[in-house]
Amino acid sequence: MKKTICLSILLLVSFIGVAQNIAFQKPVSVSSLESSIQMGQNAVDGDLTTRWASDYSDPQSLTIDLNANYTIDRVVIHWEDSFGKDYQIQLSSNNQQWTTVANITNGNGGMDTHTFTAQSARYVRMYGTQRNTINGAQYGYSIYEFEVYGIVEPNNALLSNISINNISLSAFTSNQFTYNYVLDPGVVSIPTVQVTPANTNATYSIQHAQTLPGSTRITVTSADQTATQDYVINFQSSTYTLTWNDEFNYEGAVNPLKWHHQTYPPNNGGWFNNEEQHYTDKLANSYVSNGSLKIKAIKEDYEDPDTGSIKPYSSARLNSKYAFKYGRMEVRAKLSPEIGTWPAFWTLGKNITERGAYWETLGYGDTSWPACGEIDIMEQDANKSITSGAFHFPNENGIHTYTTNHISVNDTANTWHIYAMEWSESTIKIMVDGVVFHTLNNAENPYFDNEHFILLNIAMGGDLGGGIPSSFTSSVTEIDYVRVYQLETLTTPQVEKPRRGVTLYPNPTKSLIHITTDFSFAKLYDLSGKLQKEFRTKTTDLSLLSKGVYLLEFYDEQYDRMDVIKVVKE
């Protein structure tokens, strides 16, 4: 332990005995970045192989928002080779006035532990004034991990988590008290809300919404009964109807009527962004099994048959043979967990001039990138605890520009999350699990008023994927479904008339229904989206189902959705 400002032994033991690293996965702001890969969030991800790195100048700072006031007595910094020679540890309750609790001169890197008289703060920062040199060369500040230790205060009336139907609210922060949450299309039941107080001794009450749209209110009371805080979630029903989808309820290759493999490398024999893969149409790189699409990146030397160029990795890049303007698109997925992978769900204008893209091969290509518009609904780099969204388009001088933001998402590899985009004439919103985290004012942007198609892919390395470990062999992103919804333009009666000639009777029914149209198979869902029954016969029995309204989807032999009909069970 070095550079330590000591407390009395009794006080030190008292705080360390109950302390925890309260900086873990908390919001981070930094003065600069050496590159987009060395982002500030890397310093609080619990991983000593990822890092934040600043540019090569002084002063620089890294600030952590703990989302609540804590009594803090210790900070630990794990430096990379580029460390702070002179720097300060500072605390603040408002991110404006700062108190210096440790002043370090002639630091020598490694792991620095600073203990100090315990005090209350919400914000903690490292403020560097002098960098070290490495063999005479100047670099920036580089931190593997920044740890803060303390205990939550008894007058804390904040939450540390909100879950909706057992899924953590992705955009949650303790100091944001109002959330607008759009329910998935077809969901008409009021969600269940669960919460966790920041102080486990605090109490709370939940007043659930009674109707949709409606609001759920959570009131938190501090452990010492001196403070209260309200959180409000405004729930809104979706007004969309499903217009195109792939549920991946078949086996083998992807449906060729819905997807095109984009394999021709358009950038001088390679792909963009310094990526290290070629895309193929091989079954090993994209296939459907057990109800989901798998896109698989594989370490192998692969020679592109069109250009003869060789890359050390293969993967898949799918284009939808469907294009749309305005509406909602969503992908339910589990993402590749391996470092070096760059999974993405996104859209491009179908007018893009990019050789090998599906719509360009049909003669629609007349506009170069980025004037065609690009919407990145989900991209993930080496930091697997977040995903980002972006909009790419030209500025007023015709030069590429973009806006971007990111959101923390829990367990992207093993938990299903819904990555979605809602697009209208006025705005485009990017969201995860119903929470919006990035918005574009589309009313002032002419580059997103044309039809777009969907892209699904995993890139390797490159500008966003980062370094690929030598131990990498393969990685899979798993997609449960892709759906496109558009605004409902018809009034919806209790029983919807079929759109493509599928008929059934009786409807409403108490038991049997009879279908008079040829189809390959059908799936029956309740209004929460849970599958209740799948069948291939023209007569089926619903007598065991509860009374209510159900959605019956019909598919043809090409796995194309023929129709969806509301069925009333009496």
Q: How do the pLDDT tens digits run along the chain, 570 residues long?
A: 333 333 333 333 333 334 579 999 888 999 888 887 888 999 999 899 999 999 999 999 999 998 888 899 999 999 999 999 999 999 998 888 999 999 999 999 999 999 999 998 999 999 999 999 877 778 899 999 999 998 878 888 999 889 998 888 867 878 889 888 888 776 778 899 999 998 888 999 999 998 888 899 999 999 999 999 999 999 887 778 888 999 999 999 999 989 999 999 988 888 999 999 999 999 999 999 999 999 999 999 999 998 999 999 999 999 999 999 999 999 999 999 999 999 999 999 999 999 899 999 888 899 999 999 999 999 999 889 899 999 999 998 899 999 999 999 989 999 999 999 999 888 899 999 988 899 998 887 889 999 999 999 999 999 888 899 999 999 999 999 999 988 754 333 333 333 446 788 888 888 899 888 888 888 887 765 567 888 888 889 898 888 888 888 887 776 666 777 888 888
Q: 130 with 195, same domain?
A: no
Of 209, 238, 267, the residue at which a domain comes to its end is 238
Q: Are 119 and 91 in contact (CB under 8 A)?
A: yes
> What number of CA atoms fall less than 13 Å from residue 464's CA on the CB side?
19
Tokens 């699409």 correspond to 293
d(C-alpha 298, C-alpha 287), whole Å: 14
CATH label of the domain that carries residue 47:
2.60.120.260
The sign of the torsion formed by the CA atoms of 286, 287, 291, 297 equals negative
CATH code at position 353:
2.60.120.200
Q: Does the residue 166 lie in any domain?
A: yes
- Number of domain units in the chain: 4
Within a domain: residue 476?
A: yes
Please state, in angstroms and rounded to a whole number, the distance separating the CA atoms of residues 345 and 419.
8
406 shares its domain with 456? yes
How many angstroms separate the CA atoms of 78 and 142, rounded?
9
DSSP state of 267: B
Same domain, 443 and 558: no
The reported pLDDT for the residue numbered 527 is 64
Question: Are 391 and 371 within 8 A, CB to CB?
Answer: no
C-alpha distances out from residue 172 to 100, 176, 234, Å: 29, 7, 14
Q: pTM for the whole thing?
A: 0.54
Q: Residue 421: beta bridge partners?
A: 329, 430
Pairing, β 240-246 against β 259-261: unpaired
Q: Is 175 among the domain residues?
A: yes
Task: Answer yes or no: do 535 and 434 share one domain.
Answer: no
Domain residue limits at 515: 504-569
User: Are 65 and 213 in a shared domain?
Assistant: no
Contacts of 177 (CB under 8 A, 6+ apart): 229, 230, 231, 232
Residue 76 domain-assigned (yes or no): yes
Asked if 39 and 90 sit in the same domain, the reply is: yes
The token duo for 95 is: 């991110």
Q: What is the pLDDT of residue 529?
A: 59
Same domain for 72 and 37: yes
- Residue whose token pair is 């997609």: 479
Instruction: Please give the Cα distance from 465 to 447 (Å, whole number).
Output: 27
C-alpha dist (Å) from residue 66 to 32, 149, 290, 314:
20, 11, 42, 41
pLDDT given at position 217: 95
In a domain, 220, yes or no: yes
Pair (118, 148) in one structural domain: yes
Q: Please identify, among 206, 238, 270, the residue that sits at the C-terminal boundary of a domain.
A: 238
Encoded amino acid at 364, one letter: Y
Say whether both 86 and 35 belong to one domain. Answer: yes
- At 561 the pLDDT is 65
In a domain, 136, yes or no: yes
Q: Which residues contact 510 (CB under 8 A, 6 or more apart)?
A: 543, 569, 570
Dist CA 432 CA 440 (whole Å): 16
23 and 78 share one domain: yes
Residue ending a domain, among 219, 238, 257, is 238
520: Cα separation from own chain's centroid: 35
Q: For the purposes of burial, counting CB atoms within 10 Å of the CB of 263, is it exposed (0-12), middle (13-18) or buried (19 or more)?
A: middle
CA–CA distance, 375 with 67 (Å, rounded to integer)? 30
Largest CA distance in the chain: 84
Q: Which residues contact 370 (CB under 8 A, 6 or more apart)?
A: 392, 393, 394, 400, 402, 447
Tokens read off for 33: 């970045």
Residue 289: inside a domain: yes
Co-location of 309 and 389 in the same domain: yes
Q: Assign residue 166 the CATH number of its domain.
A: 2.60.40
Shared domain for 229 and 356, answered yes or no, is no
Quote the CA–CA distance of 223 and 225 in Å, as a whole number: 5
Quick check: is 499 in a domain? Answer: no
Cis peptide before 337 (omega within 30 of 0): no
